[in-house]
Every structure is written in structure tokens, then in C-alpha cells.
Structure 1
Amino acid sequence: MAGTGVSLVIAGTIRVPPENLEAFRPHMRAMLEASRAEDGCLEYAYAQDVAEPGLIRVFEAWRDQAALDAHFATPHLAAWRAAWPEFGVSDRRLIAYEVASQRAV
């Protein structure tokens, strides 16, 4: 996360019934592609938990709060959330972390 100031990392999980994962995958891909193209998006990823089917791990990094606020106002985010009931998406648990610096470990 280059630059000065505070970047934001969003990390957490959502749940999708395992039997709905394949049908939901195109929606996840569309959200990833649109979000990654946004100004201020440094990283945006989903990963299926190896030990727990249907648990999707979310990781996002944003340049700043303004970039995240703009993300929340996008049509693709509205479409993403609108698709959730059809696929049984639940238990959204996302936390924002303010990051002032970073280093390799």
C-alpha cells in the first residue's frame, strides 16, 4: 500500500449454502472484476474456506475512506447485494482496519 496516509483493509466472511456456490460464482466474479477496476481499489478477493464449505473469505484493500465510500455507491455493489436473497447469502461479517504502514513478514 504505497503512498501516505491511512489505507483501509476490509476482511471477513460471508456464507453461501454449499449447493448454491457454483450458481453464485458468476456473481462473485462480476463483483470482483468491477471492484478491481475502481479507482482506489488496491486489492479485492474472495476465497472459499478449505475446511468449511460455503464460507467465503473476503479481503479488500482500499487507498482511503473516500475510495471505499465511492465503492459503496456503485451500481455493481447494489446489484451484488440484490442477488444475495436468491442464493441464500447470509452471515456477512466484515471488519474495516485502518492501516498506517505495512511490512513484509
Structure 2
Amino acid sequence: MIVIAGFYRFPIDQIEAVRPAMTKMIELSRAEPGCGHYAFSEDVVEPGLIRVSESWESEDALKAHAASAHMAEWRAASAAHGIHDRTITAYEVTGARPL
């Protein structure tokens, strides 16, 4: 399993404008083969900070996601709405347990 965690930063005045593009990206990504989890969440303390959380069955599923048309659309939309920071990290998970 591949787990993705990170964040995007947008100008505060662009959050509402970019929300439809975020919603589309989430819905289409969740429908992809191999997607276990896909979410963006707005940080409660830092306006304009969007946290990213994903899980994928395999590296192949993640590669297909990265090459998807909706990923290209998301990149264009995020640039058009002033994304100014992006930190995303992939983790290979070999096991899990409830806390």
C-alpha cells in the first residue's frame, strides 16, 4: 500500500473559487481502480492550507492516477487559483494496526 500525505496552500481569497475543482478531483480520484482513500481537508487553524490524504493499493495505481486527465485538470486549476506551496510525500506501508 502507498499512503500519501501533504498539503497545498492557496491564497485565502481563492479557497471558495477552487473548491469545485477540489470536489471534482476528489470524486474522480475515489472512483479510480486501486484508490482506497482520497481526501482534501481545510486546516482549521491556517486559512488557505489544504491537507491531502490518500491511499493506493499499488505503485501502478498511483502512477495511473498521476497520469489521469483529471490530475492534469487539477494541476491547471490549482495554478489558475494561485497555489503557492505544495508538499506531498508518498510512504510505502508494509503493515497497519488500529490505535
TM-score > 0.5, shorter chain as reference: yes
> In the alignment, which of 78, 89, 95 is matched to residue 83 of structure 2?
89
Query: How many pairs are equivalent?
Result: 99
Unaligned residue ranges in structure 2 (runs of 5+): none
Unaligned residue ranges in structure 1 (runs of 5+): 1-6
Q: Secondary structure at the match of 2:50?
A: strand
Which residue of structure 2 aligns with residue 73 of structure 1?
67
Tell me if 1:37 matches 2:23: no
Aligned AA for 1:93?
T
Q: Indicate the structure (1 or 2) with the bigger Cα radius of gyration.
A: 1
Deviation at 1:83, TM superposition (A): 1.2
Could you tell me how far apart the structure 2 residues matched to 1:35 and 1:23 are? Answer: 20
Deviation at 1:85, TM superposition (A): 2.2
TM-score w.r.t. length of structure 2: 0.98
Could you tell me how far apart the structure 2 residues matched to 1:28 and 1:49 are? Answer: 14
Aligned AA for 1:103?
R
Identity %: 52
Could you tell me how far apart the structure 1 residues matched to 2:15 and 2:76 are? Answer: 16
Q: Secondary structure at the match of 1:100?
A: coil
Which residue of structure 1 aligns with residue 9 of structure 2?
15
> In the alignment, which of 8, 18, 24 is matched to residue 24 of structure 1?
18
Aligned AA for 1:89?
I
TM-score w.r.t. length of structure 1: 0.92
Deviation at 1:86, TM superposition (A): 1.5
Please tell me the root mean square deviation across aligned C-alpha atoms, in Å: 0.6
